[in-house]
Structure 1
Amino acid sequence: MCLLLLMMILLSSPINVVLVESVLTTAKPGCQTSCGKVAIPFPFGIGANCSLDHWYAVNCSSNKPFLRSINLEVLNISIEEGTMLVNHPLISTARRRGRMESVNMENSPFFFSPTDNIFYGLGCDNFAYVWYNTSYIAGCYSSCRKSGSTYTEETIGCYGIKCCQTRIPSSLQVFNASVGPLNEITKASVAKKEDRKQAIFVQESWLSGLAGNLTEIAYGILSHAERVPVVLDWGIRNDSSFDWNMIDFFSYCHVFANISTSMDDSFANDNMSSSSTEIPVHKCKCSWGWEGNPYISGCQDIDECKDKMKKVCGPHMSCRNHIGHYECYSRWKLIITISVIGSGFFVLLLFIGAWRLHIIIKRRKDVKLKDKYFKRNGGLLLQQQLTSSDGNVDRSKLFNSKELDTATDHFNVNRILGQGGQGTVYKGMLADGKIIAVKKSKVIDEGRIEEFINEVAILSQINHRNVVKLLGCCLETEVPLLVYEFIPNGSLFQYLHDQNEELPFTWEMRLQIATEVAGALSYLHSAASLPIYHRDIKSANILLDDKYRAKIADFGTSRSITIDQTHVTTKVQGTFGYLDPEYFQSSQFTDKSDVYSFGVVLVELLTGKKPISSSTTQDTCRSLATYFLCMLDNNLFDILDAEVVKGKNEEIMIVANLAKRCLNLNGKQRPPMREVAMVLEGIRASKKESNVQQNHQEVEYVRTEAIEPWDVVSTSASSTFEITAPSRDTQPLLTM
């Protein structure tokens, strides 16, 4: 009863939660500046020609201002915020009132504020919602706590228990409010609470400022109040008679809403051709440090300390401008603040000095660590080998670790191109946009360092179009890195054993790759400054560039051979299936060991089968080389790849017999790579000559059939070209 009485007293008195603006909120000259306690600044006005237009006309009756255009009592007008507090009819959905609609402000420059107002739903199983033109705009749901078979009445705040809240969207000028149960099942269980299923739309700060239980206060308002304070946003319509040239440099305007209006609107522009349009609504305000009414008197510079802060600070405090706003301060406080700032600055200097010292020490440690890695990764050995290799020291570039770390995105696993016995290869991109392949060696011991340095030394001496070009290396990391040119189309192994129907691996392509690999090996064995044995020839180490030209890669186990050496004796290294049986038994690697491995690659090209296969039925023919030799004399065409069979039989037989010679168990009876390359080049040259002759015959046929005299001249001119066989790479060539 006490609470109800308090609410009745509170709600029966006029709502005067109003702050009259104290500075420079001027009216039009000669017009009334206020009504009661409410200041009436322009564009609003009391009396004829005192307002901008009829939307802002105010009637002052019994010291209460009423806005004529929407017939609402005005409680406060703010120029700075562009808002207006009005005494709005209570928008509720209590059972005795039924559905209610807000004041219709369509086509006006007034809008319900979405930030200052709030919509509350009250009751059990209450779906309170705002709608307009059959469309939902906003809503919330509230239920009641259940204890046993009865609902309890306590609630804390408005968070969905007996009370829920939501906000409305911006640019809203009219809406309806309704309540109801969420569904038919819960409707019967809360029938006793049906009379308390209600909603209310009100200024949020006014309702939250009332003392007491929020839910009960809201019910009290619904029971006794007819009007409640609601905040409206307002501005100036773009099509109004306002002189926009009055907006000076020290104020600014912005569009905060649009009005959908029609030709019936009395303020529509005369030159509009359509039946409806969007009219912007602007808010204007003074810039910081300036105050006034930008709509009529302009903005004026103010002394905040004098005008606003003097009474707040008091006689023992001073006022100052501090980073864009004014504040009160004590002189003693200022002295203490300066001392604290000075001490903090001194501590900051010490911190910066310590940090710089830490950076210097860290850099020195990094330099020492990189020098340690350089020596451990064989940097001195590399320098020695390169210096002794006919002055080819400058052919390899030393990359720094940061450059390669950035190029490979910190050696991201998504950049991995492949993994092998010596390490992992990553795709990277240098700062100049060049695509590279970075080989990161595995953590290696002293023996493997020699292999790595050997690969650098070997590749630094090779400049052949069918050998992967070494761009440089990095030895200042924990594990050494090699940088190669990037070969985009993967390995020969992938094309042979994962064939793509969209790109058939034709006999011509296979013959070209075989010829290019043979030419590169012939160069390594015979034309390099020192003979080089690759020692791991296999289809996985033959890469294909963007034009499907072959490039030999992975020289980690290669060896340079001096002229007086006849073989290399070492522990057996290589790949099972490609390994020379003679080398496997004697541990003596010769140039004929590379020939044997190339013979296995030839058989792969012919059959499309892997070097080791369990698909054969004879135990004695488990390796591809042995199986091929078993089938060569009688059943060769039964084991050939379907694309190979499309080629010429005589060419296939020549290559097959060449592979047989390369796979001879006696290394001395195998042909040298120079001879192998010549045979393959001869096949390709004969194919080109055959194609040229065929074209020549076609031209001769056209010439003899033609009757025009100029055809004879044309034909004779076109038949003067020469046929030349492709030359072998006896001299180093630039990588294409």
Structure 2
Amino acid sequence: MHSAAAALAPSSLLLSQMLLLLAVASAVPDGGCLTKCGNVEIPNPFFIGANCSRDGQIDYICNSTETGIGANCSLGGGFNLTCNTMESGLKKPFYGDLEVLNISLTMGYVRMLNRIISQCHEQLTFHTRAVTWREDDGPYRYSDVLNKFTVIGCDTLAYILDYHGINSYQSGCVSMCRDEQSIANGSCSGLGCCQTSIPKNLTQYTVSFENRSDNSDTLRFSNCSYAVLLEAERFQFQTSYITTNQLMEINDGWVPVVMDWAIGSETCEVAKRNLTSSYVCVSAHSDCVESSNGPGYLCNCSEGYQGNPYVSDGCQVFALQYILDINECDQQSNPCSDGICHNLPGDYRCECPEGTQGNAYNGACITAESQKLSLAVKVAIGGGSGVIILLLCIMCLYVVYQRSKIEEMKRKYFKQHGGYELEEKMKLQRGLNKFKIFESKELEKATNHFDDKNIIGRGGNGVVYKGVLENQVVVAIKKPKIINEDLKKQFGTETLILSYVNHVNIVNLLGCCLETEMPLLVYEFVSNGTLFHLIHENENQAPTSLDTRLRIAYESADALDYLHSKASPQIIHGDVKPSNILLDMDYIAKISDFGASKMIPKGEKQFATLLQFTHGYIDPECLMTYELTYKSDVYSFGVVLLELFTGKKVISFEESEEQKSLVSTFTMLEKQNRVSDILDNQVKLEANIEFIQELTALIKECLKSKGEDRPTMKEVAEELNGLRTLKKHLFIVQHNVEEMESLLSGLPNDNRANSNTIFNIERRLTRRSNIQGWL
């Protein structure tokens, strides 16, 4: 019996195949319309025979054509296809200019080729439009399940847009590259490649590229960007798509995309009312299924049947009296995975084994205990995730709150320090165009958050930091160290005053920052330290020449004279000292630090009740009267001159108690005609008695107790310029003396004596004429 059954099996299989072929053949209408183009099957409703009506049930568009695949005997619209012969001789189906790869009746989709949109760096336009279908009532919708909008490139932002109809849509993604090594094959998560989902009922779209930045690092290996809507499962990213033109070379720049299709725009309920007109589920044992993507419906064969529901008798049972039944449970691969498979006519059913429950069709059968444990794990994970998300939300809200609070404080300080008024002045007065209002974050970045390593000076009013701006300009940034209203006023005054000061020997003010509790001032950076450093911390360098000292003294005096008489309004510095005289690489002097500066309107006096002075340089008259005058700067400058030409500090704790004040020491030695005792050795080496006497007289005049007895800064500058001229003449005379002495060395003693007498008279007359010329 077993042998007979075995002999019957082949014949049963052959009979089954023949019956199935007969059933399918009976479902294909006559009329000569193509049912296949090349290797692609063209099932109804994508083809209709020449007989354009089927028993009066369906009205189709009908006109004879030789090039169409039933082009005029189908449902019309998007169901009309053409069969084109390619250059290679192969035939391929097309809808318009889009190649059709395959058609699924059961799933209700058509797979086509979609064009890749590209943008290369040298292109001048950055928006590319790609509209596939415009018919709102057409059968096609891009599959929101199988397709994804994909962007490939470096530093690329592309959008997918749909503005037609009532509901507009816009989405996109960003693809970045740090370098060529940061991208990897197969990964499309944002590095070199990114993807985003699309909504349902999308019939057309536009691709728009954002203007790509000129990043030379990425342009070196990636010149083009691409965007396309494609079937996600059939796409695998390759790094060569970034570095070469390989993506556009594959299939000439076309990739698969899945289009969901549906019949008409009616629901199944409405379509069934028109059984004699537009309803196309004509086969017996067929069901109407609502479209899951947009309007319309599909036709499927009923459970246990297979075939084409769009033609009469197109749905056939799997088993003709069970002869044609295929036992899915006997297949090598169990369709129920770990579940129990039960064969049914034309179908099968999966059940979980006893003691388990779940979805047997996908192998998710688990025991009750495991299910409880799994539920507990899910609850725990869900609860933990919820707590983490909650904490992250709280942290984000806190960060946002803190940032808004900081921004509010910045606006408060900006208004408090007169920022809005300053902005208006900068707009109205062209002279302030060079002046800039800096943001606090810009200066924090320039100084590495005001790191102590960047401190280059400390004064009575604050600390000065070295900073490097984003444009690589090196600046000096003054920040207060004492917070009080007086200091705020000093900073505001300083900003206003220095905005108008323009002198080669005065440090330029580049701008200010008003977003902090105390305003910050940004100066040009003077790179060679201060006069204090040159005088007292220059041990490892050559001694400073007398000419250099005289030039520095003159330039400083000339700058102070500018502040006193030529600035508008006139300015009293109020804190003249060597550490406030900066030097550039050529030892050009620049007056700085106007922390105690005061504007003096004409006819008014300035009381120094709130000023901060440096001990040793204070005008003694100012201490008694509390009145700050131009002569206060003259006194302080006299101390600077004394310090410059003696090389000694104004207050010295290394000497005896009686000699700790340099001014007191000078006063005592001047009365004894012994000033040369405290002069710097280099000064004594280059100067003579006459020069020392003139210099001593100038310093003495500056240091007089009463301000009215002191010279003006203009007179001081003129005296110093005269000393520079005297120094040059002394050098010439000395040189001539040496030459004459060498010439007279061979003369008799009497003649030599007479010549020396003549020369001494000439030298005395020369000195007197020179002195009279600049006094």
TM-score (norm 1): 0.45
Higher relative contact order structure (alpha carbons within 8 Å, sequence separation ≥ 6): 1
The structure number with the bigger radius of gyration is 2
